[in-house]
Amino acid sequence: MRLDKWLAPQPDSAFQKIIVLSAAKGPLTAQFSHKIIWLWDGKSPEADKVHLIIRKDTGESQTTLKYSVSNAVCETPIERLAYMQCQRYWIERAFQDSKSHVGMAEYQVRGWRAWHHHMTMVALATLFMLNTKINHQQDYELLSAADIKHLLSKFLPQRQISKQNVIEVMRERHRKRQKDIDLYRKI
CB atoms within 10 A of CB 115: 12
Same domain, residue pair 15 and 82: yes
pLDDT number for residue 187: 67
Within-domain flag for 105: no
Q: Final residue of a domain: which of 28, 57, 86?
A: 86
Q: pTM of the entire structure?
A: 0.59
Within-domain flag for 14: yes
Within-domain flag for 141: yes
pLDDT tens digits, 7-16:
888 888 889 9
pLDDT tens digits, 67-109:
889 999 989 999 999 988 888 878 888 899 999 999 998 888 8
How high does pLDDT run on average in the chain? 87
Within-domain flag for 94: no
Give the residue from 184, 94, 79 showing the smallest Cα distance to 134. Answer: 94
Within-domain flag for 107: no
pLDDT tens digits, 134-161:
999 899 988 999 999 998 888 887 777 8
Same domain, residue pair 77 and 10: yes
In three-state secondary structure terms, 65 is strand
Sheet containing 63-70: order of strands: 16-23, 26-39, 48-58, 63-70
pLDDT number for residue 136: 92
Within-domain flag for 81: yes
The count of domains in the chain is: 2
Instruction: Specify which residues 32 forms β-bridges with.
Output: 16, 55
Q: How much of the chain is in helix, strand and coil states, percent to nearest 5? A: 50, 20, 30
Which region among 59-63, 127-131, 170-174 has the lowest average model confidence (pLDDT)?
Answer: 59-63
pLDDT tens digits, 41-55:
889 899 889 999 999
Domain residues for the domain of 33 are: 3-86
